[in-house]
Amino acid sequence: MVINSEQQRVIDELDRNILLLASAGTGKTNTLAYRVAHIIESGRCEAHQILCMTFTNKAAQEMKARIETLVGQAAKAVEISTFHSFCFYVLQQEGKRDESLYSDVTIFDEEDCKELYFPFKPRNMRDMNFASLISIVKEYRSVYGFYSDSMIEDYKQTIQRLQCEQSKQIEKLFCNYNTLASDELSEFWTRGHEWITRYDESLQSVHGVDFTDLICGVHRLFQNPDIRKRWRSRYRYISVDEMQDTGSLEYKVMEMLWQGNHVLLCGDYFQTIYEWRGSDPFRLLEAFTRDFNPLKIIFYKNYRSNRTLFTMAFKTLQHMFPQLVGDVYDEMPEADSASDGAPILVKGCRNEYTESKFIYDRICALPKDASIGVLVRDNRKAQRLSEQFERYNQDKPESERRPFMIIDEYKFFRRQEIKDIMAYFKLLMNPNDAVSAKRIIKRYVSGIGDARIRDIESPKNRSVGLKLTDFMDMPIFEVEPYAKLVAGLEAGEVVVYDVESTGTDTTQDRIIQIAAMRIDKNGQEIERFERFINPGKSVGTSQLVHGFTDEYLAEYGESPEIVLEAFKEFSKNRIIVGHNVNYDISILTHELARYNLGEPHFKAVYDTLDIFRRFYPTLENHKLGFLSSHFPINHTPTHNAMDDIIATGQLLIYAVHENIVPTTTNRMVAINQYKSAFTTIASQMATLRRKMHTDNPTDLLAYIMNQMGVLAYYKSHGEMAKVEHIRELYRIMESLDKEYKGTTGLARLNYILQLAALTAGEPQQMTKQSKIPIITVHQAKGSEFDYVFLAGMNQGVFPSFMSLREGNEDEEKRLFYVAITRPKQELVITYTNESQRGQGTAPSAFLDYMPRDSKLVERSM
């Protein structure tokens, strides 16, 4: 790659913060990759201290591939992810220290969330509107900073303030066909905090987070200065791409990582197309410029389009935003291409039929292997074009047909059969995921319908500590769930356990303290285990949590092998209890494996966080400190492991005496009532759980299909087309499995699940498909094609009727600019003179911004 002078400045400048203004096709991704390589090769920091955040998974993968080409193995340690992926990583890592989170937390997509909010949604409100309502309230809770221990009070205050400051925005969500549902709106103002609290409690009960929680959860965590400092100190160089699409809350989260680090913010003012979602780049860049004094660099050379396309697009931009373009650009940008290319064709068609036929015929005249994109303003237009193209295809021999696909319909991971299969994987990763359990039961388990599921989830069964997911696990049918715990207390074989560590990554961080106490049935200490480990690495900022310095551990810490072996023996064949104990078990297991010490041998494991959430689901929160003050125990926990286990032990004894023992008979009656219906699926899930630690995800998928009856189900229902989609899933997983560089088993499965959850409208396969995509301009952002057809350029369509009514044409102009910068070789724009009903229609006013030079734009009626 030839590096121009502006690109070289970005690569070389490693001391100052940078504000990089780079429009489409200016070589931004390559430049950022070379900069990362330069940082590593110059020894400015270690690769793992570099964080690159991008807007899409596709952009993140491109960046990873390019950096790996430049620096080889070192690139694998660079953190390159989307903003949502980064937030999910933070939530997972902080699950140990914040009991409002779980280390086995999973992301629930928009379809899964419907199941959880349905009981609270007003009857006549659209799902999409209610989901938006929940998201708005959650985001404003964060914006307003209402972070008390009472979630319901926080939401109450948030909604009261929204009623004063944002009532019009909320009212829109309660409108159907321009009619305001005033009764439902009134109920929201008075009871909305209850709806959203119950929804959040439902999410917590299944160990889930929604997309909004990813951002709000990290924002809440970063209010803690110790957590904020810990994450800030992990990085030295941070770059954020597509900053113009960053919402104000996202900016606040990122900003908390920047102090003391080297920051590069990159984007294009004129591609801001998400103002409706809260992005405000002008205000954010003003704040960045004020607070971080960046060096401003502009890329002037375009490497994507030929000269005709580039000149047309830039002149159009100048006509739409003359003042702003003059303020941003000190000199005229130019295309690097030596080719002029054909003029842009603006074609007026009589109606949608002639428009679609014109586009179809033009596409058929292009080479079959050409990169082609059909762009539209909205999905309705995409659907109509798809139907018309399909009819034209039918008139041609199969060999001459052109395959099309609508990306909005192609949300691969949202297909029913794919979601059903992924439900098995989600349940493996998160055994509390009742939404996934229901999907599996309803589709593939005979004899269990909605009525029986409702009965299992009834208050009667919840009051004895049972959940639907319990019945998906064999142990519940082999012994009463708490029998081992009660018997262990009687025998003095219960060990309450906690660890402190150098961080929260169970695969990378090291244990520095193991504290455990064997207790009797009254919670009294029988035997104590407390040992310190010299981890062989600095504790870093984790010292802020546990208080143990490197010097202290050097003096009092023992060899890891000696302490781990001793605790393995201390805990052998005993009942292990902890508060949010999954983290402690996971990091211990990894440490034992690291030193080839085998696996821990516990008789059973119980989590007091899970126990109290089962029996006391409506408490304000379930943190150890809150529970210790709420219930009659006489010990206050600290972040010292020994203090925490004393409090945990006393809470355990309280729950056993007050909740577990008194409900034993009723619990057994309920279990026996459903045993016959669940035994087969529970046995199959048990086998799958054993396999998930050693088998690759593709092997698990093959087992699900062939041994768990899924293939037989689709054969018996005559739905073999769905089997083909599942085979496609197998191929995708095989490809992802090869790309993933980590360990086998759970880590790979978690990687695939996260990718699936965060790829809702951006299918991985889009660029690998031979089909021609029909996509909205929003979906096309970040993509490029040799040939682009922009259809439906009519006033009231593009710009949209809504934007015209609300006076929001500027964002539509920027969206038009995004559309005309997607092609590399040719652009064809079409509009119609008649509507679907035969009424006269006008071409888009945006076409008047295009240059009148016939060498650039050819206009045809």
Determine what percent of the chain is predicted with pLDDT higher than 70. 94
Contact 479, 671 (CB under 8 A): no
Q: Same domain, yes or no, for 398 and 379?
A: yes
The pTM of the full predicted model, rounded to 2 decimals, is 0.82
Is 759 annotated to bind a ligand? Reply is: no
Domain assignment of residue 102, yes or no: no
pLDDT at 544 over 80: no
Lowest mean pLDDT among 258-272, 385-399, 402-416: 402-416
Domain assignment of residue 507, yes or no: yes
In this structure, what CATH number is given to the domain that contains residue 294? 3.40.50.300
pLDDT tens-digit map of 158-172? 999 999 998 888 988
Q: Same domain, yes or no, for 514 and 605?
A: yes
In sequence order, what are the residues at sequence separation of 6 or more whose Cβ sits closer than 8 angstroms to the Cβ of residue 113?
131, 203, 210
Residue 761 is predicted with a pLDDT of 44
pLDDT at 815 over 60: yes
Q: Same domain, yes or no, for 732 and 801?
A: no
Q: Which of 172, 205, 238 marks a domain boundary? A: 205
Is 776 annotated to bind a ligand? Reply is: no
Q: Same domain, yes or no, for 326 and 392?
A: yes
Domain assignment of residue 151, yes or no: yes
- Half-sphere exposure of 150 toward its Cβ, with a 13 Å CA cutoff? 8
In this structure, what CATH number is given to the domain that contains residue 422? 1.10.486.10
Q: Same domain, yes or no, for 164 and 283?
A: no
- Total of domains in the chain: 5
Mean pLDDT of 455-473: 91
Nearest Cα to Cα of residue 256 among 138, 471, 87, 427: 87
The model's confidence at residue 765, banded by pLDDT at 50, 70 and 90, is very low
Q: Which of 156, 180, 205 marks a domain boundary? A: 205
Measured CA to CA, the distance from residue 97 to residue 103 in angstroms comes to 10
Residue 640 is predicted with a pLDDT of 62
Domain assignment of residue 187, yes or no: yes
Residue 559 is predicted with a pLDDT of 94
pLDDT at 324 over 90: no
The model's confidence at residue 408, banded by pLDDT at 50, 70 and 90, is low
pLDDT tens-digit map of 50-100? 999 887 777 787 888 888 888 888 778 888 888 888 998 888 878 766 666
Is 768 annotated to bind a ligand? Reply is: no
The model's confidence at residue 762, banded by pLDDT at 50, 70 and 90, is very low
Residue 69's domain comprises: 5-93+220-299
For residue 742, give the DSSP letter: S
Q: Same domain, yes or no, for 631 and 712?
A: no
Measured CA to CA, the distance from residue 330 to residue 587 in angstroms comes to 55
Domain assignment of residue 792, yes or no: yes
Q: Same domain, yes or no, for 498 and 596?
A: yes
pLDDT mean across residues, the chain? 87
Residue 764 is predicted with a pLDDT of 42
Domain assignment of residue 793, yes or no: yes
Residue 638 is predicted with a pLDDT of 60
Q: Which of 703, 735, 759 marks a domain boundary? A: 759
Mean pLDDT of 120-149: 91
481 phi and psi angles, rounded to 5 deg: -50, -35
Determine what percent of the chain is predicted with pLDDT higher than 90. 42
* Between 548 and 285, the higher pLDDT residue: 548
* Cα separations in angstroms, 837 against 350, 378, 840, 841: 12, 18, 9, 10
pLDDT at 663 over 90: yes
Residue 182 is predicted with a pLDDT of 87
Residue 103 is predicted with a pLDDT of 67
pLDDT tens-digit map of 263-283? 999 888 777 655 544 556 667
The model's confidence at residue 377, banded by pLDDT at 50, 70 and 90, is very high
Measured CA to CA, the distance from residue 256 to residue 15 in angstroms comes to 19
Is 47 annotated to bind a ligand? Reply is: no
Mean pLDDT of 664-670: 93
Domain assignment of residue 475, yes or no: no
In this structure, what CATH number is given to the domain that contains residue 527? 3.30.420.10
Is 29 annotated to bind a ligand? Reply is: yes
Mean pLDDT of 636-653: 80
Angle between the 151-165 and 127-144 helix axes, to the nearest 10 degrees? 100
Mean pLDDT of 782-798: 92
Residue 385 is predicted with a pLDDT of 93
Lowest mean pLDDT among 131-135, 247-251, 514-518, 657-661: 247-251
The model's confidence at residue 612, banded by pLDDT at 50, 70 and 90, is very high
* Between 147 and 103, the higher pLDDT residue: 147
DSSP character string of 572-603: TT-EEEETTTHHHHHHHHHHHHHTT------S
Measured CA to CA, the distance from residue 77 to residue 116 in angstroms comes to 37
Q: Same domain, yes or no, for 353 and 365?
A: yes
Q: Same domain, yes or no, for 401 and 418?
A: no
Q: Same domain, yes or no, for 290 and 249?
A: yes
Q: Same domain, yes or no, for 114 and 162?
A: yes
pLDDT at 345 over 60: yes
Is 411 annotated to bind a ligand? Reply is: no
* Between 414 and 827, the higher pLDDT residue: 827
Domain assignment of residue 88, yes or no: yes
Residue 617 is predicted with a pLDDT of 84
What is the SS3 assignment for 803-845? HHHHCCHHHHHHHHHHHHCCEEEEEEEEEECECCCCCECCECH
Q: Same domain, yes or no, for 489 and 359?
A: no
